[in-house]
Amino acid sequence: MLDEALGKYDTTTVIRKLNLLGQWGLPDLVNTDTDVDGTGDPADPDGGDDPADPDPAALTAGKASPLAENPQAQPSFVLTEDSPDAAGTPTTSGATSRSVAAAEASIPTYLPCSFIVDAHPVRSVNVVEFHNASNSNGKWTYGESADTDLEGGIDYAGDDKGWSAHGSGHIGNSKGATVYRSYSGGSKANNYGTSTFKYTDGHYQGYGQGKWCQDTTISPGSYVKVPGSWYGGVGSNTADGSEFIGCAKSPQSGHRNEYPKGSGFTRDKNSSAKIGAAVNLGPIKVGARSGYSKNVVLHWDVVRGHGIWLCGTNYGPIDAGVIHAQNQP
C-alpha cells in the first residue's frame, strides 16, 4: 500500500530466526506502531490504566509459541550442563557452532599408533598376606605354577598427573623356580610376602588425526605401566593392611580352627584376597591377587605351647582369602 505522506510503500518487517537445529522457524511479525501498554491498541494513551482495556494476558492465552506450532523448529535434544551452548556458559553464534561441529565430525575415530617402550623396571609386588604365631613354624612359598593377577596403570592425559589403575595382567610362572620365606624358633609374622616382577613402561604415539588408537580405547599420547613377567625376588613388608588381627574376637572367632602342638595345616588351593596396594608404580599403587596352587603354599607346623588358632574373617582357614594366626591361651 502506497504511503502518500512518505512517498513510498508501507511495508511490514518480517524476521525469520534459525533455531538450535539450524532450521528456519516461523516468522515473527514486527508491528511498527507505538503500543504503550502492550494491549495492541496504538490509540490508547493510558498505558494500561483504562479499566476497559482487556487483560494483556488474556490476549495471548491459549496461543502457542511459533516454535510449538512448528514441530520441525523444535530441538530434538537436551543440552547438558557441560555443553558449550548450555545456559550459564559462553555461547557462540549458530554458524560458529555448526562450523565447530562439522570440524569435529571430520576427525576420524581411529588413527594408527605405535607403542614406544620407555623402560623395563623390576618392581616388588605383595603376592600374599601371611600371619604366623610364635607357637608355630610358618612358611609361604611362591614358585612353579604360581599365578598372580597384577593391575597396571594408565595416564590418558600424558601429563603424569592423572594416573589410574587400568586392566589386569595374568602372570603365570612356568620357569621351574621357587621362592619362599619361613618363620621359625618362635618368630611371629604379620606382613606381606613379596616377589619381583618385570614391568613395561611406555606410551602410545599417534600418527595423523583421530580420537583413539586403532582397535583400542586408548587415546594417543597416553602413558601406561604394564605387568610383564615374574622376576623371582623374595622379601616382605609390613604395609597397611597386614597388621595383626588374630582369632580371639568376632567375627574371626566364629571362623577359626584349633591346631594343637604336633599338628599342622597347609593351604594350596583357592584364591587369596586381593591386595589393594600390592605394587607401587610411582604415581599410584595398584592391586594384585594370587592364586594358591601347587606352589603357592601357606604352611604351619605347630611345635610349641598350647597350639594355635587359624581363622578367616568370613570363612574358615580352608576358604578364607587371608588366614590369621594366634596362639591359643
Sign of the Cα torsion 93, 97, 100, 103 reads negative
Q: What is the spatial distance between Cα 329 and Cα 245, in angstroms, rounded to a whole number? A: 16
Closest CA to 118 of 204, 207, 232, 229: 204
The owner of cell 516468522 is 27
Question: Which of the pair, 311 or 127, is modelled with greater confidence?
Answer: 311
Residues 165 and 286 sit within 8 Å (Cβ to Cβ): yes
* Residues 6+ away with beta carbon under 8 Å from 151: 165, 166, 167, 168, 169, 227, 278, 279, 286, 287, 288
DSSP H stretches of helix in the chain: 56-60, 66-69, 94-105
The per-residue b/e assignment along 140-166, b for 16 or more CB within 10 angstroms, e otherwise, is bbbbbebbbbbbbbbbbeeeeeebeeb
Chain segment 11-69, per-residue pLDDT in tens: 444 444 445 444 444 444 444 444 444 444 445 444 444 444 444 444 444 443 333 33
Confidence of residue 126 (pLDDT cuts 50, 70, 90): very high
Q: What is the spatial distance between Cα 275 and Cα 177, in angstroms, rounded to a whole number? A: 23
Chain segment 159-186, per-residue pLDDT in tens: 888 899 987 777 776 677 889 999 999 9
The Cβ of residue 194 has, within 10 Å, a number of other Cβ atoms equal to 23
* Residues 6+ away with beta carbon under 8 Å from 121: 198, 199, 201
Q: Quick one: cell of 222?
A: 597416553
Chain segment 179-226, per-residue pLDDT in tens: 999 999 999 999 999 999 999 999 999 999 899 999 888 999 999 999
Question: Which of the pair, 238 or 78, is modelled with greater confidence?
Answer: 238
The owner of cell 523448529 is 73
Q: What is the spatial distance between Cα 258 and Cα 300, in angstroms, rounded to a whole number? A: 12
Confidence of residue 147 (pLDDT cuts 50, 70, 90): confident
Q: Describe the chain by its helix, strand, coil percentages, rounded to 5.
A: 10, 40, 50
Mean of the per-residue pLDDT values of the chain: 76
Q: What is the CA radius of gyration of the chain?
A: 37
Please count the residues of the chain: 329
